[in-house]
């Protein structure tokens, strides 16, 4: 590997991108998707802020105290920006209900929005500057993730934490007004600071990984602003982060940077359950007019990989419900809101209508289907068969995504609160006004 070729010097490209892109040059659609992701981040963060992992990090933050710089999820008052990023990154990923980018296999907003909001509050940035920094940060994190490549993820690194930290640092650096050289230094600090492993999946360590990405980003940017000078180019240089962390150093990762906004392809989760169930649930969206009482039986075909993950036949409680094709299909056909956290509960697992319907759901693996695809056939009492298909990667019109994110926020926060949060984000409110929301009941 070499980093001497300007063709794929990712440090220089990202440093230039983060420092020189003008707010006015950010395209409308990318900004709109960023706004949706901020709304989504607020909704899942507020819904998850009392999870056990959030409480553990919160206790550390309270015990440390410090200068009132930024608001945090679930605490009154303000705390140092680095601590706020740690807590908010962790809490917003606690439910695993935040946005996902399948290109870089990571959750961009929990790392980057957490860092950007904390620093935006600290420096008193405008709402527009905050959203621009967040957009540039998430785009950078996707690019770093692509540059590191699939091998980095497969060997065991958690891109949300690793690639996420670099995006978080650039977002923070932009809000601090760092030069291109300083941005390169932020990447240099993060090359020795970023961390996070997939082996934490299934434990509190997973959401904590998002917190450390956010905190690392804030820390690196602040330290560079305070004069820390690391090895510049330690991301892509010899024995740098890429080389040591099984990175592919894919030169195509920065193609079109600043022109093409890969972040626009981000996916929002619209069901509060295992990702393996989402394509099936989205396929059923096209059958909303069909009454459950007219359904004789349901045939679900999915990627065989999911069968060992989320195919509990007879769930007995809320957690099992989140991993059950039969349960969520029955819930959906009977009109229950699969976006709500409290839909996955003991009561619905034992509901007579649901248990009767879910026994008529057959699930089978189909190796022609990818992990983002599902085929569902509704066999009706009339003898008719309704064939449905969905691929999560299929681009959705922005207007539809907008409506669904807002509906999700309403499911999680209730109509009044959701409207308040959306109004702030849509109106590019001051970051401090958005921050205050994190603490409100």
* Contact residues: its own copies, CB under 8 A: 52-53, 55-57, 59-60, 63-67, 69, 80, 82-83, 155-158, 161, 188-189, 191-205, 208-209, 212, 219, 222-223, 226-231, 234, 237-241, 243-246
Instruction: Name 398's Cβ contacts closer than 8 Å, sequence gap at least 6.
Output: 29, 32, 33
We find the least distance from the C-beta atom of residue 93 to its own copies, in angstroms, to be 13
- Which is nearer to its own copies, 127 or 247 (by Cβ)? 247
Question: Nearest distance from residue 116's CB to its own copies, in Å?
Answer: 18
Does the CA dihedral 334-276-166-261 come out positive or negative?
negative
62 vs 386, which CB is nearer to its own copies? Answer: 62
Q: Which helix (H) or strand (E) holds 295?
A: strand 295-302
Q: Determine the Cα–Cα distance for residues 102 and 302; give it in Å rounded to an integer.
A: 18
Show Cβ contacts of residue 191 under 8 Å, excluding neighbours closer than 6 positions. 230, 231, 234, 235, 240, 241
367 close to 303: Cβ distance less than 8 angstroms: yes
Q: Whose Cβ is closer to its own copies: residue 239's or residue 381's?
A: 239
Residues with Cβ within 8 Å of 164's Cβ and at least 6 positions away in sequence, in order, are 106, 107, 108, 110, 111, 112, 141, 196, 210, 213, 214, 217
Q: By C-beta, is 80 or 108 nearer to its own copies?
A: 80
Task: For residue 207, give the nearest of 33, 79, 434, 49 by alpha carbon.
Answer: 49
Nearer to its own copies, 44 or 83 (CB): 83
Query: Least distance to its own copies from the beta carbon of 114, Å?
Result: 17
Work out how close the CB of 34 gets to its own copies at its nearest, in angstroms, rounded to a whole number. 28
* Residue among 284, 267, 264 at smallest CA distance from 275: 267
CB of 222 to its own copies, least distance (A): 5
At closest approach, how far in Å is the CB of 1 from its own copies?
12
- Give the nearer residue to its own copies in terms of CB position, either 66 or 414: 66
Toward its own copies, which CB reaches closer, 35 or 240? 240
Minimum CB distance to its own copies, residue 280 (Å): 28
Nearer to its own copies, 63 or 76 (CB): 63
Give Cα separations from 357 to 300, 323, 346, 381 (angstroms). 14, 17, 16, 13
Long-range contacts from 197-203, C-beta under 8 angstroms, 24+ separation: 197/156, 197/157, 197/158, 197/161, 198/153, 198/156, 198/157, 198/158, 199/156, 200/158, 201/158
Q: How far is the CB of 159 from its own copies (least distance, A)?
A: 13
For its own copies, the closer of residues 194 and 312 by Cβ is: 194
Q: Are strands 373-380 and 361-365 parallel, antiparallel or unpaired?
A: unpaired
CB of 82 to its own copies, least distance (A): 7
Burial class (CB in 10 A: 0-12, 13-18, 19+), 347: exposed
């Amino acid at each position: 590997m070499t980093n001497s070729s300007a063709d794929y010097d990712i440090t220089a490209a990202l440093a230039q991108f983060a420092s020189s892109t003008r707010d006015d040059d950010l395209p409308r659609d990318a900004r709109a998707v960023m706004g949706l992701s901020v709304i989504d981040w607020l909704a899942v963060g507020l819904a998850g802020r009392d999870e056990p992992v959030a409480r553990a990090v919160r206790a550390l933050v309270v015990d440390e105290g410090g200068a009132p710089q930024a608001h945090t999820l679930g605490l009154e008052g303000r705390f140092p920006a680095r601590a706020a990023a740690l807590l908010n990154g962790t809490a917003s990923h606690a439910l695993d209900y935040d946005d996902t980018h399948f290109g870089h296999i990571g959750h961009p907003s929990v790392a980057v929005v957490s860092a950007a909001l904390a620093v935006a509050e600290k420096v008193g940035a405008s709402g527009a500057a905050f959203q621009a920094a967040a957009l540039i940060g998430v785009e950078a994190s996707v690019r770093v993730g692509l540059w590191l490549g699939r091998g980095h993820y497969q060997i065991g690194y958690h891109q949300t934490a690793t690639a996420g930290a670099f995006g978080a640092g650039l977002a923070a650096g932009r809000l601090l007004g760092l030069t291109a050289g300083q941005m390169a230094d932020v990447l240099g600090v993060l090359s020795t600071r970023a961390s996070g492993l997939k082996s934490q999946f299934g434990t509190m360590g997973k959401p904590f990984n998002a917190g450390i990405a956010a905190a690392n980003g804030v820390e690196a940017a602040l330290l560079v602003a305070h004069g820390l000078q690391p090895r510049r180019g330690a991301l892509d240089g010899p024995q740098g982060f890429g080389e040591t962390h099984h990175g592919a150093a894919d030169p195509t990762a920065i193609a079109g940077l600043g022109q093409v906004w890969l972040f626009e392809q981000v996916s929002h989760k619209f069901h509060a359950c295992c990702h393996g169930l989402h394509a099936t649930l989205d396929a059923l969206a096209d059958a909303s007019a069909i009454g459950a009482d007219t359904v004789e039986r349901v045939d679900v075909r999915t990627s065989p990989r999911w069968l060992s993950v989320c195919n509990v036949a007879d769930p007995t409680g809320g957690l099992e419900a989140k991993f059950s094709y039969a349960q969520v299909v029955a819930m959906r056909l009977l009109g229950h809101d699969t976006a709500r956290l409290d839909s996955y509960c003991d009561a619905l697992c034992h509901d007579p209508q649901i248990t009767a319907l879910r026994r008529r759901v057959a699930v089978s693996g189909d190796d022609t289907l990818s992990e983002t695809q599902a085929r569902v056939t509704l066999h009706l009492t009339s003898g008719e068969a309704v064939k449905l298909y969905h691929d999560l990667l299929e681009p959705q019109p922005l207007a539809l995504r907008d409506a669904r994110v807002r509906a999700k926020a309403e499911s999680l926060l209730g109509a009044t609160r959701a409207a308040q949060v959306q109004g702030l984000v849509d109106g590019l409110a001051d970051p401090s006004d958005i921050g205050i929301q994190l603490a409100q009941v």
